[in-house]
Every structure is written in structure tokens, then in C-alpha cells.
Amino acid sequence: MADTTRSFRDAGLLGFIIALSVLVQILNPSFLSLENLADMAKNTAILSILSVGMMLVIITRGIDLSIGATLALSGMVAASTVAMWRDTHPLVAITLGIGIGLACGSIVGVLVARGKVLPIIASLGLMNIFRGITFLVSDGKWISANQMPASFKGIALSSFLGINALIWIALIIYLLAWWFLTWNRMGRQIYAVGSNPESARVSGINIERTLYWVYTLMGGLSGLAGVLWVSKFASAQGDTAMGFELSVIAACVLGGVSIAGGSGKISGILMGTLLLGILNNAMPLVNVSPFWQTFIQGLIILIAVIINALVKRRAVRRTMQKRNI
Amino acid sequence: MKKILTAVAIALAIGGLTVAHAATTAPSGKAKYAIIFKNTGNPYGEKEMAGFKKAADEVGAEAILKAPDQPTAEAQIQMIGELIAQKVAVIAMVGNDPDALEPALKKAMKAGIKVLSLDSGVNPASRMVHINQADPERIGRVQVQAIAEMIGGSGEIAVLSATSQATNQNLWIEWMKKELAENPKMKNIKLVKVAYGDDLRDKSVAEMEGLLKTYPNLKGVIAPTTVALQPPLVSQPRARC
Amino acid sequence: MELQQPFSLKRFFLQWEWMLVLIFVAVNVINMNLSPYYLDAEGLRDATMSFLDKAFIVLPMVFIIILGDIDISVASIVALASVVMAVSFQAGVPMAAAMVICLLVGTACGFVNGWLIVRFKELSSVIVTLATMIIFRGIAYIILEDQSAGKFPAWFKFLGWGYIGEVPFMLIMFVLAVLFFSWALHKTAFGRRVYSMGNNVTAARFSGINVDGIRILIFTVAGLMSGVTALFLTSRMGSTRPNVATGYELEVITMVVLGGVSTSGGKGRMIGAVIAVFLIGYLRYGLGLINIPAQILLIVIGSLLVAAVLVPNFKWSPRAR
């Protein structure tokens, strides 16, 4: 039952995306040009990377509000490092960013798994702390483009086979995540923990360990995203990515990840981020006033989640009817 | 539980005393001159505040440098309150909004504090003096002339500014528009859009990319703020400015 | 449960609220040591006016979090209400009527939230208010674009800057609001119903409580109080923009949680949240007086927040397991 509902919903979302694309294409023929599509993918890459982590968190019935701050902190540390030692290899910077992200994430993980603190509170508290530390690390200053070596800025500018590095990184992460959720034992356990913690415990799953790793993974992805973000915008600031966590959550919700836990698919969040990416990219193209863009975005999110709810309701009713017969 | 309570109390007390010690050792008795900038980290603001500190040191006053983490008037109002309580002698204001600071600054003046504004000014009712570090008319006209030269005298241009409430930038943009209208040499140049990056680099980059996409024939961009100056550099591969 | 236990002095003093009082006293002692200007009646009095504006939303947020819900759209409601008020005033509506419009807009937004949450129970309040947060802020941008609006009559300034006798008007209004909300939560049947809904919605519904009605009412009141915050904030600023009050929602939630109200529902009291408001407010004020950047404060608030939820957990977990 659940599978048919979900595929029905997926088809609906896909249909919506296609309809939207056709509409935009009619209004502005440059929308489906290769150049614009590549641009759009590049600009959505960071959001899509974070959505993977957030999906795992939400599947376990959690939420992580600290990722924007984690992103800023690891981006700031990586940027300060390359500003100080200009010949640092970009890979070292990326590793450093991921490392800091993992550390931040593991603190959230310990609080949630061990301290039994509600995820929303633990991550809200740590969000404040990580922001404060970002400020301490940078002494309130910004790291600007001229302080960063070309090799570092090159991370987001370089391309392979004509496709931007950010897109490659996002693709690799999606492949890994798909493997992890389909074939890895812990990946399967994440669903079990989310859909029914009690029976998961009974069947021998170490819930604390699973939760800990989910948040740590989320942190690691935020760390990676931090380096990419700073390289892309060539600027590290104390307020980098403030509020970005809400966009990430919105992408997951659009992609059909249920806040109640237990459900969420890679293909879903891929479409969720794609929809947000198209909205961001297409509205300027069809000359929607920038002041209308926020409103339209919010409205589409609301409509999408309401349709989701209605579809679910209908599916449940139908199964009930079948049982009666 | 009791143990935790005691531990927390002791930790707080020790923490408090050490910080207190550090703070009270600072010299006092000198007159305090304070400056409030738009937001922290802004490279231009860092320079401005460094200069303010230098000048205050020269006249033998203690300089207080403040800037909120976000470029909002709300945070600046709070800071003005803190400065009034500290009984500073002078507040130099770089405003995030020309009108919103009026009640707070009036209160400061009533408390005997000398209030001046510089750079991004506040309305005349809320300060005694405004220091315009540069002639807005010259800035506006010269920037248009410069870009005219760079793009060869004709084509579409855009402006990527700070916040829509930044007084000085808005004044410059007014003069830019006047220069475009008055100077016959500029008749082939069209200002297609004034975009605002809100003094945030991420937003400025996004706005810049939007400009490039919306106006494919864009020849040049005037960025009258250090923050917005960077995005054109980042998006350089495609920009033609 | 609380009612069945006999009164114990020990338990009474081991409550989270006393911990908050202790921290509050510690903060004041530290601030006094840090700055010679802190212990100044006038300064302490006027400082309240800079943090009480958002405190009006804290009161209904306590109800929302006791229900086990959350509302992250409140800051956007503040912005929308404020912008509509300014624009209608500039369009010629008398100021008093514009203020009523401000409150009505807030109330309407809150009602929309409540209605959506009750109508679509599959969606959690996080999702609904996340969407309306973007929508309300978006409408504010549509109305005012990137301009600011203001030029209010002089008397409007009284709300945010005026005194009755020696006491700030805002402080008096806040105290009245606190009295009303505490009464509603702790002394009425309505308050008891809210607690029982927070503990177990299904049980509450079967015991005949109009759970949907109560939920809509509480979210509507949260909208109304966001309108009140919009009044005070706009009065303090003298003009308004679509991006005012950004980030207020997380500050408000932080105060409520620090006040010992549990987001898993059913637990917490009004007084804790009120102490937390003053605790964070004076902490910020004290650091501001010694000119320490506000970002350092984030670390302190974050740590307090984590401690606030960790301490009760440590208290019970060794015995429970």
C-alpha cells in the first residue's frame, strides 16, 4: 500500500516539475539551454548535498537546526587556514571542513542519542554555540576573495568533462547515499529506528548508535558543504548560510520525507531540491518580480505538502474500504 | 541535583570573577567616544573603525567600537541604549536606516551625548552633524562617466548596491540617474536595474547572477559598496564589466 | 501527577525555575562586577524596553509548546502586521485604526496557522508554520518591496518609548499580559485542558475536550500577540521594512525552552519562561555595557539551553533505568 501511495505521489511531483518546466520554457526559451541547466544544477548542488543528511535525520524522527551554523564554522575555519597558509592543497581544506563538520555533528549526536535531548532543542542550542564559535574563530572579520588562493576558489570553479565540480560532488554523494540506504545494514536500520523505535530495539538494533551516526553524518555533510559554499561565494562570514537549514528542511518536505519519521527516498529529495532549484532559477528568467518570489515559493511548498496529505488520506481510506469488502 | 546546582553556581561565580577582573583592569576615567557601524566584518567598516580608534587615541579618549552581527536597525537601537547607559561622550553613527534610529538617538542627545553620523547618514533630526566623507554628486557622476568609458559609450548597465535603506548609496544612485539624464553623452546608456545585495556577499552574488541572466545584453555593473564589489569578480567568467 | 504528591519543601526548591532564579542572580552579580554602569536603576529600567517587544510572543508560545506544537512563523507575522499597519497609515487610515488593523492581521495569520494544522492533521505544525513563515514574509515583501514606511504621528512613539510615572509603558503592558496568561494557564479549566492535551491528545479528545478548537484558539492568540509585538517594535523603530524581526522565532523558542517548558509537550510553567526572558535580556545588556560583541552571547545562551534540557534528564535517568 505504502509503495503505491509513494510512487503515486512521486509521479505527481514529477508531473508538477515537468509542467512547471514546460511553462517556463514557453515563457523563456533559454530555460532549457544546456548552459542554464548547468547553472541551475551548480546552484542547487549544496542544497541537495545537505538534503541527503537532513533526510536521514528526519527519517529517525529528528530535525537538525544547527547545520547552517556548522556550515559557517567549517567554512570559516577552512577559509582562515587557506588564507594563512596559501599553498594548502584544496583537498586538505575539504578534509579539514569535513572533519570539523563531523565533530560538530557528533556533539549533536551525543546530546540526542546519549543525553536524550530532543533533537530540535539540542540542535537549536548548538546552533547558537557554533555561530558564536565561528565569530570567535574569525574575530568578527570576514575572509574575502583576495585572501583566498586561486586553488581554493578553484574548487567550485573547476570542472571535469565539462561539468562543474559541485555537481560531480553532489552526484557522488547521491550514489553513496543510495547504496547506503539500499544495501548497507545501518542504512536499513535507520528506517527501522524511524518507523518504530520500540520494535527496532526489540529486534536488536542499537538505537543510540544509529542516532549518533546519523547526526555525525549530517555534520560531515554540512562541513563539506561549508567548504564548497565558501569556495563558491569566495567569502567566509560569521553569518554565512544563516537560516539555510529551513530551506534544506523545506526541500526534504517537498520531497515527501515525512516529519513523523520512517519514510523518505533519495529520488524524493532529488525532486524536492530540483523543484526548489527550478523555482529559484526560473522566476528571474520569466521576470517574476523579486518581491513576489518569496511568496510564490512559500505557496508552492504549502500546496505541495497539502496535496501530499490529501493523497495519503485517500490511500488510507481506500485500504480501509478494501478491508471492509 | 543539589550537587549540580552548587557546581553550576560555583562555576558561574568563578567565571564571573575572572572576567570581572579582566574588565576592571582596563583604564577608565577618560572620555568615551563610541562608533556604531552597520555590521561586523565589513572590510570597509573595519577600516572606518580603525581610523576612529586612532583619532580617539590621539585626542586622549577611549574608543568604543560597536557593530551588530546583522545589518539591522533593531540591533543598532539596542546598542545606542547600551552606550547611553555607559555615559559616553560621543556617538558616531553609521546608520542602517535613516529614520528608524531617530527615537534612540534623540534620547542619547537628551542625555547630553553628542551625536554625529558619518558615511551612511541618519535624518537631520537625529544627529547634530553629518560627515560626508565624499561628495555624493561627484561620486555619482564620476561612476557613471567611468562606466561609460569602460563600455564604450553605449549599452545597458545595472547598479548593485547595499541595502535599499543605505542613505549614502541611495544618494549616489540618485546622482547617477541625474547624470544619465542630463549628460547628452549618456543618452545611449540605459540603467536597466538597481539591485540590492543587502551588504551580504551571498545575496550580492545571487543578485549579480540574476542580473546576468535577466539582462543578457548587460554591458556593465556599478557596485558602489565594498560588499557588492566582490560578486562581479566571482562571476567574472561570464561578466563583461 | 503533581497533584497527588504531598507538598515537599525539598522538591519545591529543586525546581528548574529556582535554578533559573539562581542563574539570574549570578548574571546580575557578574554584570555588576563587570561594569560600573550596570547597577543603575534608570539603565536597568530602560534596558527592559529593548528586549520586551518579542517577549509578548513568548507567552502564547508557552501554550503552543506545552501542546507539543511549535510556531516558527511568528517573526514573519510581526513583519507582515507591521508593514500592513504602516502602509494603511500612509494610505490615509487614522493611526488608531491602523493599529487595530495591525492586530487584526496578526490574528488572521495566527488563525490561518491554526486552521491549517487542525484541518491537515497529517502535517505537523513545523511544516505548516515553515510554509506560512515564507508566505507571510513574502506578502510583506510584495506590499512594501524594498522600501521602508514610517512617518507615524508623534504620539505613536509612546508605546515603545513612553513611561507611566517612572515605569516604561511596555513593561506595564508586559506585566499585565504575564498575569493574564499565567492565570489562563494555571488557574482555569482551559489551562488544565491544554496540559492534558500536551500529555495525551487522544485521551484528551475522548474525555470530551474540544482539542481542535483549543489548538486553533492558541495559534490565533499567538498571531494576535505577534501583532502586539509588531506595534511595540514599530513604535521603537519609528519606521518599518519587510525584513524586520528576522530571527525572532528562534529567540522566542529559545526563551520558552530555557524557561523549562518541554517541547515533548505537557510540561512547563509560565513563570520559567518569564524569568528566561529577563535572564537573556539582562545577560545581553550586561555584555553590551562592556562592549562584548553579541555573538559571544550566543555561546552562553546555547550552553544554557543545552544545560536546561540535560539537567532534568540526568536527574531522572539513573533511577529510571
Q: Report the candidate in C291, C245, A308 with the shortest Cα–Cα distance to residue B26.
A: C291
Distance CA B12, CA B22 (A): 15
Q: Note whether C245 contacts A: Cβ–Cβ < 8 A.
A: no
How far A138 CA lies from chain B's nearest CA (Å)? 9
Q: E strand or H helix at B130, and its extent?
A: strand B129-131
pLDDT of B236 higher than 70: no
pLDDT of A44 higher than 60: yes
Number of domains in chain C: 1
Structure confidence at residue A181 (pLDDT): 85
Quick one: pLDDT band at residue A253, thresholds 50, 70, 90?
confident
Q: What is the rounded average pLDDT for all residues in chain A?
A: 84
pLDDT of B23 higher than 60: no
Quick one: pLDDT band at residue A225, thresholds 50, 70, 90?
very high
- The single residue listed with the C-alpha cell 534610529 is B101
In a domain, residue C125? The reply is yes
Structure confidence at residue B119 (pLDDT): 80
The domain of C114 spans: 47-247+261-272
Helix axes of A67-84 and A90-113: crossing angle, nearest 10 degrees: 150
Distance CA B208, CA C237 (A): 31
Residue type, position A17, single letter: I
In a domain, residue C309? The reply is no
Distance CA A288, CA C260 (A): 45
How far C134 CA lies from chain B's nearest CA (Å)? 17
pLDDT of A193 higher than 70: yes
- With CA atoms as reference, the chain C residue closest to A261 would be C124
Hey, are the CB atoms on A135 and C134 less than 8 Å from each other?
Answer: no
Please state, for a pLDDT cut of 90, what percent of chain B lies above it. 5
Q: Identify which of B20, B78, B196 has the shortest CB distance to residue C30.
A: B20
pLDDT tens-digit series, residues C91-149: 999 999 999 999 999 999 999 999 999 998 888 888 899 899 999 999 999 998 878 88
In a domain, residue C37? The reply is no
Going along chain B from its start, the domains and CATH numbers come out as 28-131 (3.40.50.2300), 136-234 (3.40.50.2300)
Q: What is the mean pLDDT of residues C267-284?
A: 90
In a domain, residue C267? The reply is yes
Structure confidence at residue C66 (pLDDT): 92
- A contact test, residue of B37, B38, B69 with most A CBs within 10 A: B69
Q: What is the mean pLDDT of residues B69-87?
A: 87
Hey, are the CB atoms on C289 and B85 less than 8 Å from each other?
Answer: yes
Q: What is the mean pLDDT of residues A87-101?
A: 88
Hey, are the CB atoms on B202 and A241 less than 8 Å from each other?
Answer: yes
Q: What is the mean pLDDT of residues B46-60?
A: 88
Quick one: pLDDT band at residue B121, thresholds 50, 70, 90?
confident
Q: Report the candidate in C283, C209, C205 with the shortest Cα–Cα distance to residue C34.
A: C283
pLDDT tens-digit series, residues A127-184: 989 988 998 888 777 887 778 887 788 787 777 787 788 888 898 999 999 888 888 8
Structure confidence at residue C134 (pLDDT): 92
Q: Identify which of C243, C244, C288 has the shortest CB distance to residue B82.
A: C288
Q: SS in 3 state form for chain C?
A: CCCCCCCCHHHHHCCHHHHHHHHHHHHHHHHHHHCCCCCCHHHHHHHHHHHHHHHHHHHHHHHHHHCCCCCCCHHHHHHHHHHHHHHHHHCCCCHHHHHHHHHHHHHHHHHHHHHHHHHCCCCCHHHHHHHHHHHHHHHHHHHHCCCCEECCCHHHHHHHHCEECCEEHHHHHHHHHHHHHHHHHHCCHHHHHHHHHHHCHHHHHHCCCCHHHHHHHHHHHHHHHHHHHHHHHHHHHCEECCCCCCCHHHHHHHHHHHCCCCCCCCCCCHHHHHHHHHHHHHHHHHHHHCCCCHHHHHHHHHHHHHHHHHHHHHHHHHHHC
Structure confidence at residue C8 (pLDDT): 61
Q: E strand or H helix at A272, and its extent?
A: helix A266-285
Hey, are the CB atoms on B1 and C14 less than 8 Å from each other?
Answer: yes
First to last CA, chain A: 16
Q: What is the mean pLDDT of residues B29-45?
A: 84
In a domain, residue C109? The reply is yes
In a domain, residue C228? The reply is yes
C-alpha count within 13 angstroms, C-beta hemisphere, residue C50: 29
Q: What is the mean pLDDT of residues C255-283?
A: 87
Residue type, position A169, single letter: I
Quick one: pLDDT band at residue C89, thresholds 50, 70, 90?
very high
Hey, are the CB atoms on A135 and B69 less than 8 Å from each other?
Answer: yes
Quick one: pLDDT band at residue A325, thresholds 50, 70, 90?
low
Residue A25, SS3? Answer: helix
ipTM computed for the complex:
0.85
Q: What is the mean pLDDT of residues A5-25?
A: 78
Structure confidence at residue B4 (pLDDT): 52
In a domain, residue C126? The reply is yes
pLDDT tens-digit series, residues B129-149: 888 777 778 888 888 888 777
pLDDT of B227 higher than 70: no
pLDDT of B22 higher than 60: no
Hey, are the CB atoms on C35 and B86 less than 8 Å from each other?
Answer: yes
Please state, for a pLDDT cut of 70, what percent of chain A lies above it. 96
Quick one: pLDDT band at residue B237, thresholds 50, 70, 90?
very low
Backbone angles phi, psi at A160, to 5 degrees: -135, 125
Of A41-50, A230-239, B109-118, C172-181, give the range with the top mean pLDDT: C172-181
pLDDT tens-digit series, residues C210-249: 999 999 999 999 999 999 999 999 998 888 888 888 888 8
pLDDT of C7 higher than 90: no
Structure confidence at residue A172 (pLDDT): 92
Q: Where are the domains of chain A?
A: 46-140+148-248
- B contact test, residue of A30, A239, A297 with most B CBs within 10 A: A239
- Greatest alpha-carbon pair distance for chain B in Å reads 81
